[in-house]
Amino acid sequence: MTSDPTKRFTERVDNYVKYRPGYPNEVIDFLQDECGLTEESIIADIGSGTGIFTKLLLDKGYIVYAIEPNLAMQQAAKQWLGSYENYTAVDAIAEATTLPHKSINLIVCAQAFHWFNDDRTRAEFKRILKDGSSAALIWNNRLTDTDDFSRAYENLLKNGSVDYNKVNHRNITDIDFKAFFKNGQYKQVNYQNAQVFDLDGLMGRAFSSSYVPPQNSEEGKKFRELLQAIFSKYNGGGKVSFQYQTEIYIGQV
């Protein structure tokens, strides 16, 4: 498996599009109120992936620059969102977005910041944000201890994945946020979110994750067998659920 974060999801785009969670409507409402967004606001969605969060912004009428270096993800997003006049896809990385100096009213990073948390990213965000504007770092944080299924799934990831413990976004802590945001000051808000899966959906959701072994590898086949056993043991009426806490960390950079 590649260690290059810009290429980790290339073979997982189909599952990513179909099975990754969306975001509660309250997230956009919060960003609108917190940042005073208007129809003229220009937003950079950095690490935009297949466009899950981008679409929420486009549907509200904002001008959105979707920064994404992975070609397969770019193509999936363009196929889905290309008809929006207010959508611009940008083939670039977070550390060098190519966007003009002080041109952006809000930066959002949805399920992405842990891949590019470093000083270069912070400097680039400061460069492109208009004075007084904010960056919002957003994750769907899967809750790992809500029921027997969630505990079994988490245990499988810890013991049967490639590098889950290393790349897990939960490794980002308050120390990282204080170093990133201006004067160490930021606001955090949380919302509840959930997905319900049958067996096929659970498989698709699992294999959308870059730390799960590729589906067709021997390790991937073993992972599938173990996951099927967990589903068989813990499903209710042929369904299991992922419970999330959607977390927003927002402040000036």
Model pLDDT for residues 170-182, shown as the tens digit of each residue: 556 788 899 999 9
- For residue range 66-93, what is the model confidence (pLDDT) as tens digits? 999 999 999 999 999 999 999 999 999 9
Q: What is the pLDDT of residue 10?
A: 46
The answer to whether residue 188 is domain-embedded is: yes
The answer to whether residue 208 is domain-embedded is: no
The answer to whether residue 159 is domain-embedded is: no
CA dihedral 247, 64, 48, 140 (to 10 degrees): 20
The C-alpha atoms of residue 27 and residue 230 are separated, in whole angstroms, by 32
For 144-152, what is the mean pLDDT?
96
How many domains, in total, are found in the chain?
A: 1
Kindly tell me if the per-residue pLDDT of 14 is higher than 80. Answer: no
Q: What is the pLDDT of residue 113?
A: 93
The C-alpha atoms of residue 76 and residue 13 are separated, in whole angstroms, by 7
CB atoms under 10 Å from CB of 89, counted, come to 19
CATH number at residue 81: 3.40.50.150
Question: Which structural domain range is residue 185 located in?
Answer: 10-143+167-194+243-251
In which band, very low, low, confident or very high, does the pLDDT at 6 lie, cut at 50, 70 and 90? very low
Q: In the structure encoding, which two tokens stand for residue 27, read together?
A: 């997230």
Contact assessment for residue 13 and residue 73, using Cβ atoms and an 8 Å cutoff: yes
180: enclosing H helix or E strand = helix 174-180
9 vs 135 pLDDT, higher one: 135
The answer to whether residue 235 is domain-embedded is: no
- DSSP alpha helix (H) spans, the chain: 13-19, 25-35, 52-59, 71-81, 119-128, 148-160, 164-167, 174-180, 199-207, 218-234
182 vs 216 pLDDT, higher one: 182
The answer to whether residue 91 is domain-embedded is: yes
The answer to whether residue 190 is domain-embedded is: yes
Kindly tell me if the per-residue pLDDT of 52 is higher than 80. Answer: yes
The answer to whether residue 154 is domain-embedded is: no
For 207-226, what is the mean pLDDT?
88
In which band, very low, low, confident or very high, does the pLDDT at 4 lie, cut at 50, 70 and 90? low
The answer to whether residue 213 is domain-embedded is: no
**What phi and psi, each to the nearest 5 degrees, are found at residue 157?**
-65, -40
Q: What is the pLDDT of residue 168?
A: 59
Quote the pTM value: 0.89
Q: What is the pLDDT of residue 204?
A: 94
Kindly tell me if the per-residue pLDDT of 220 is higher than 80. Answer: yes
